[in-house]
Structure formats: C-alpha cells, structure tokens
Amino acid sequence: MRLLAMDTASNCCSAAIWSDGGIVAARHRPMTRGHAEAIMPMIGDVLSEAGHGFDDLDGLAVTVGPGSFTGLRTGLAAARGLALATGLPLAGVTTLEIVAHDARPNLAAIGNGAAAGGPCGLVALETRRADLYVQYFTSDATAIDEPMALRPEAVAAMMPPTAVVLAGDGIPRLTEFLSGRGGDDVVIDAAIAPDARIVASLAAHRWSPGGPLPGPSPSPIYVHPPEATIPVGQGRLRP
C-alpha cells in the first residue's frame, strides 16, 4: 500500500510517502505562512525521492483541523484537487489525534493506573488566541470527546484528579494553571506537533486493501465560529 500524506494546518508544512509498511520519503518545514506556495513543490519532492508517481499510489491523506483557517483550506484544497485529478480516495486525520498518536508510549504508561476507557491524555494545541484546542484521549490514543476551544484556566479546572499525559504545543500556556496538581502527577510533552509522517501512518493502519480510506470526512474542523459575519441588511446598500 502506498499513500501520500500532507499537513498545512499548523505552524509547519509537511508531506510524506508511506510505502509497503513505512515512511520512505518526507519533508517537514516550520513556517507560519506560505503553505500554499510550499506544499505542491514539497509533494513533488517526496514523490521523486520515493520514486513514485500518482499512478503508483493507493490513496491520499490530509489533516482536517482544528488549526489555522488559511492553512486548513490550503491543505484540503490541494488534497481534494489531487483526489479529483487522480481518482484516489482521500482520508482526513485531525491534528489532535496526530499528536495523541505520537504520545502513545506515555499514554500507555499512564493508562496502567487509569479506569478502563478513562482519560489518560490531553492534547492541547495553540490557536494564536486566548484559548487552546483541546481533546481527551484514552491509553490507546482513542478520542473520548470532540475537539474543543477553551481557555487554559478552563482546561485546568476540568482535568481529572488522576495523572494525565499532556502533549502538544499548547502545553506551555496550560502549565501555569496546574501548580496544584503536584510535580509528578502530569507527564508533559510539548514538543509534538502535527506531521505528515504521522498522518500517513494513521491512514495506512486504518485502511483495508480494496476498501475506502477511513477517517473523518475530509472537511475542515474549525471549532471556532467564523469571524466574518453577514452585515446588517445582508450587505445591501441602503436606499
């Protein structure tokens, strides 16, 4: 099985090729803007390095959010365009589950003392606003609830009393509200960020040969409501 995965939803841009059980080519570049200009050349680079063309692929995968509004639209537009042009199936993977997947060893360790199916991990990602994107996961990185956008103090107030793995680039802003939980009560990994290599791995492990790629419908998950609103009078000029 061969998959092309891409991510433009955060402060990075990345592309990766999964082929026959592992990543064979990948590119990852930190950036806060310019994803639209970077993603297609990056895709060309990983295809060239892997020695594959689009005809060699079985599917595509892309991050669906939550994340940057412009970044999400960039990645989804590129992925949908390629899916339409090639006829390949397209899977969506959330940015929060990507980070949870990368934190699985820590989640499993904490899970030994957690209730079955209970929260073992909290992923928190930066929104560049006052709040954070957050979601709870079990010891096997299965999501417990839907992605939310909450202020750090609200996140801290709702955390369970048991030990929880904290992962994602939003953790530094959250830790100042966790002073009462004790030094050994929380395992912190703030270095994990969305990456196309994990997108490819998640999609590949969920896919069964001959069937459609599973995962959320490849539509954007914004969490935040749109900032733009319809003007009074639907924008019509007053007489």
Chain segment 124-163, per-residue pLDDT in tens = 999 989 999 999 999 889 999 999 999 999 999 998 888 8
Please report the pLDDT score of residue 193 as a whole number. Answer: 81
Please, where are the H alpha helices in the chain? Answer: 35-50, 69-86, 95-102, 104-111, 152-158, 171-175, 196-206
d(C-alpha 172, C-alpha 156), whole Å: 12
What are the DSSP E strand ranges found in 116-205?
Answer: 121-126, 132-137, 148-150, 164-167, 186-189
Please report the pLDDT score of residue 181 as a whole number. Answer: 72
Residue with tokens 């929880």: 164
DSSP-assigned states of every residue in 58-84: SEEEEEEESS-HHHHHHHHHHHHHHHH
Q: Kindly state the tokens that stand for 214.
A: 């599973």
Looking only at the bridges linking them, the beta strands covering 132-137 and 121-126 are antiparallel
Is there a contact between 26 and 15 (Cβ–Cβ < 8 Å)?
yes
Please report the pLDDT score of residue 179 as a whole number. Answer: 80
Is there a contact between 131 and 173 (Cβ–Cβ < 8 Å)?
no
- At residue 208, does pLDDT exceed 80? no
How deeply is 120 buried, as exposed, middle or buried, from its count of CB atoms within 10 A (0-12, 13-18, 19+)? buried
Task: Please give the helix or strand (H or E) that residue 24 lies within, else none.
Answer: strand 22-30
Output the furthest CA–CA distance in the chain (Å, rounded). 69
For 38-89, how does the pLDDT look when each residue is reduced to its tens digit (9 = 90+)? 999 999 999 999 999 999 999 999 999 999 889 999 999 999 999 999 999 9
